[in-house]
């Protein structure tokens, strides 16, 4: 019988008040790894109350003392690095190398958050008027929560968690019900740091828990990463209840290849971008736009790269791409490919016959390339979230930038070129929050914000770096007069 997962509330592991459970499935082997409870609103209420109580004392803990727990957590994450990476591969499907890269990014955020005593400092001015000083200070906002997606179970919670608690807030993690095991293990490590009870809590579940987070009066801020329709829902409901919200949505990331690009390098990088993590990431290349003479050489090269990519179980040596997360995701991706052909696209590389020896029941879709797609068609506008790359050819960089900017999303846009002038033009004109120049996955380091524009982001302040600190604090301005009481009036 599969292990039934528990919630972690107020420093204790506890059973959920759940009527239903879901199997956690290895998408490559279809092995049942665990059973996750679909917790109730009452479970979330307990976690929120515990976090609110803990906040009263945690906020008064000096920042230099708060970050000591992060130093301990960083050491524990390093110590258990291999096990955490393997867990990500088992429940999420990506290759072990990709899982290790994910955990490195998680740890980087812990390292940056250890600088909170400097990073959250305010500022002051003496004598704004005679004998009057003015000070701006940052204070924590209270209880915050993250609603995490399935595609990066180890990394994405760390875009928010370490900054929140280092700034003096308390926290609730709601991992994706598809991939709850990684955060279960992380929560065991957090408990080993000796962090006071209630500072970090974990509640498993699905929409009932999400709605409870969005409605609970004690929760002041919500972070979300997922699809655009759900991001819009979370943002609207959170805002209606007076909460801060930062909601990362979907993407349809265009990449432009100019004739002066290094085609060998470009192909290698774009194949990793489009097909890495089976295309299940919000910074995956979705559309490759060739300009002028780049068309023939790049098309041939990317087709060869797609066909030669080794697909299989991510824990096996040499595997370059794993499965997608569920059978439903696989079927949706296959349907999207068919939709593209219905709109007139031709299939250059077809990944719809994905049988992997030894893993015939796994949720695999091989790398797929569509060409001659309609730039105004649904397949060019809709996020597929799978290993599907669409090719479009245009004659000028201006036409290509216009295509980039006409889309509803603005998560990432990239350019491959040897021209500094072209790179500067693209950087200035492209309407996206994350820009890559000769980079296929423009993922910001932990000390920069993970940006996003248009329908790729709802809110103001992004995760990571300084913007995370601003999100998890509120400013207070103090105006002081200290008179010389011997003064004669």
CB atoms within 10 A of CB 468: 30
Q: Catalytic residue, from 92, 114, 282, 414: name it.
A: 282
Q: Given 3-state DSSP classes, what are the helix, strand and coil percentages for the chain, each rounded to the nearest 5? A: 40, 25, 35
Q: Which residues pair with 207 in a beta bridge?
A: none
Cβ-Cβ contacts under 8 Å for 461 (sequence gap 6 or more): 244, 246, 449, 467, 468, 470, 471
Pairing of β 143-147 and β 170-174: parallel
The CA-atom distances, in angstroms, between 382 and each of 182, 287, 403 are 30, 11, 14
SS3 state at 359: coil
Dist. CA 468–CA 470, nearest whole Å: 5
Residues 6+ apart with CB under 8 A from 170: 51, 52, 54, 55, 58, 142, 143, 144, 164, 198, 199, 200, 201
CA distances from 15 to 67, 116, 173, 202 (A): 30, 34, 16, 12
Crossing angle of the two packed helices 96-113 and 81-92, in degrees rounded to 10: 120
Reported as type and span, the H/E element at residue 389 is strand 388-394
Tell me, yes or no, if 282 is annotated catalytic. yes
Provide the annotated active-site residues: 282
């Amino acid at each position: 019988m599969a292990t039934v997962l528990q919630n972690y509330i107020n420093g204790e592991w506890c059973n959920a008040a759940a009527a239903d459970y879901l199997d956690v499935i290895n998408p490559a082997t279809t092995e049942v790894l665990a059973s996750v409870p679909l917790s109730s609103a009452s479970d979330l209420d307990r976690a929120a109350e515990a976090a609110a109580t803990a906040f009263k004392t945690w906020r008064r803990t000096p920042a230099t003392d708060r970050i000591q727990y992060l130093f301990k957590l960083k050491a524990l994450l390093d110590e258990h690095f291999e096990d955490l990476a393997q867990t990500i591969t088992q429940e999420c499907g990506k290759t072990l190398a990709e899982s290790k890269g994910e955990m490195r990014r998680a740890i980087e955020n812990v390292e940056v958050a250890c600088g909170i005593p400097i990073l959250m400092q305010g500022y002051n001015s003496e004598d704004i008027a005679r004998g009057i000083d003015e000070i701006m200070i940052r204070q924590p906002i209270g209880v915050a929560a993250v609603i995490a997606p399935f595609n990066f179970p180890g990394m994405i919670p760390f875009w928010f968690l370490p900054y929140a608690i280092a700034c003096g807030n308390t926290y609730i993690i709601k991992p994706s019900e598809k991939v709850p095991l990684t955060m279960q293990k992380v929560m065991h490590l957090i408990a080993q740091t000796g962090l006071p009870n209630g500072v970090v809590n974990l509640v498993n579940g699905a929409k009932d828990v999400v709605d409870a987070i969005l409605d609970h009066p004690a929760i002041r801020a919500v972070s979300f990463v997922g699809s655009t329709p759900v991001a819009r829902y979370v943002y609207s409901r959170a805002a209606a209840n007076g909460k801060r919200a930062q909601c990362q949505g979907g993407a349809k990331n265009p990449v432009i290849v100019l004739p002066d690009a290094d085609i060998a390098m470009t192909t290698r990088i774009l194949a990793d971008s489009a097909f890495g993590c089976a295309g299940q990431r919000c910074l995956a290349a979705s559309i490759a736009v060739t300009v002028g003479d780049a068309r023939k050489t790049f098309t041939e090269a990317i087709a060869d790269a797609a066909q030669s990519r080794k697909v299989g179980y991510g824990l096996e040596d040499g595997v370059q791409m794993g499965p997608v997360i569920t059978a439903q995701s696989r079927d949706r991706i296959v349907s999207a490919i068919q939709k593209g052909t219905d709109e007139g696209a031709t299939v250059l590389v077809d990944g719809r016959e994905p049988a992997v020896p030894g893993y015939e029941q796994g949720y695999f879709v091989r790398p797929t390339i569509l060409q001659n797609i309609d730039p105004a068609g649904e397949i060019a506008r809709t996020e597929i979230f799978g290993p599907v790359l669409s090719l479009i050819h245009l004659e000028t960089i201006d036409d290509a930038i216009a295509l980039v900017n006409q889309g509803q999303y603005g998560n990432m846009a990239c350019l491959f070129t040897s021209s500094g002038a072209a790179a500067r033009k693209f950087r200035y004109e492209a309407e996206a929050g994350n820009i890559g120049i000769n980079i296929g996955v423009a993922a910001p380091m932990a000390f920069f914000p993970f940006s996003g524009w248009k329908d790729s982001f709802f809110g103001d302040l992004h995760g990571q770096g300084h913007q995370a600190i601003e999100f998890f604090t509120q400013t207070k301005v103090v105006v002081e007069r200290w008179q010389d009481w011997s003064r004669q009036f």
